[in-house]
Amino acid sequence: MRTQKMSTQDRIARVVLDVIGALPTGLQRALGGTPVRIDGQSLEPEVQLALRLLSAVEGVSFEHLPLDAGRAQIDAESALFGGKPTEVESVRDLEIPADGRTIPARLYRPAGLPETPPLLVYFHGGGFVLGSLESGDSVCRFLARHADVAVLAVDYRLAPEHPFPAGRSDAVDAFRYCVSHAADLGIDPNSIAVGGDSAGGNLAATVAQETAADAVSPAFQLLFFPWVDLSSKRPSHTMFGTGFFLTDAQLDWYTEHYLTGDASATDPRVSPLLAPDFTGLAPAYIAVAGFDPLRDEGEAYAEKLREAGVSVALRRHSGLIHAFVNTVGVGHTGRDAMLEACGALRVGVSGNRGSVSA
């Protein structure tokens, strides 16, 4: 595991974030300026203030940096917003063999688990281009500790070095490895969930679709603001495409890196929202952010599951922005959203497949 070094800019941002989180809501609202209200939603005061203050110390955005520098920036930002690492009993790096290659992964086990606990196979976000085991570390630790599950983070291959379908292949192979090597991992093969945020939510959804007919398929889907349609832009892209952390221009930059050659955004393996059949998929908890370009497609995915008779709970955190899963070390809004998701995950892998409903 790498240790992230904080730059001077990051240290300043850390102080700013700590101050914001400690302020009472009324003072956050006063300092944040006129409340931001769009589409019947109001931005959370701590989020609005953080966006306002961090813009003053913000550097060059990742899409304007060399690729290695952009990836390092995302890892550092994730460590910054994740705060002090959530303690778990053990963290173990491993390699998953798959068709002549190996897929790096990291297994988290919190204290107090049963002998063969449920497992969440988790895919980090980053637009299929950025992100790593480091950027997803705070998320996986939090989910393991508060949902009482083991978590396997998958370091799938990234574009542009490895464009579609490399990352998707890694995701499917990693899930199937967990099923076939459950005894080696010390987990229950019948209680394996898939989850992820943003692009990772896309991969989790495609794994659920690809393996639905397997002898052992996912028991549950945990999808955070999933990017499930790269082929079209819904109204939320226009409403929240600038000024709310993730931009529409960044989504275009990601797509250009991920889809090369003959790859098509209308391929359901790229855009799982376009899959022709959703019947028989695992129950799902889908959490979206109100001020997020990806909001509408995440909600559309929930509706497609619901129409197919799949048990699904959709939660819109109307005052939050993209990537709130990475903010458990700042204030309370991201942490509160994640605690709710942990409860859904705990129920979802308990074997009560019908207990998570709309």
Among the listed residues 146, 237, 257, 322, the single catalytic one is 322
Among the listed residues 135, 198, 236, 311, the single catalytic one is 198
Two structure tokens written together for 17: 């974030």
How many Å apart are CA 34 and CA 45, to the nearest integer? 10
> Catalytic annotation on 181?
no
- CA distances (Å), origin 248, targets 164, 196, 225, 237, 251: 20, 20, 14, 6, 5
Beta bridge partners of 6: none
Token look-up 């991920």 returns 258
Buried b / exposed e over 12-43, threshold 16 CB at 10 Å, is ebbebbeebbebeeeebbeebeeebeeeebeb
> Catalytic annotation on 93?
no
> Catalytic annotation on 198?
yes
Within 10 Å of residue 55's Cβ, how many Cβ atoms?
A: 9
Among the listed residues 169, 292, 296, 311, the single catalytic one is 292
CA neighbours within 13 Å on the CB side: how many for 342? 21
What residues act catalytically?
198, 292, 322
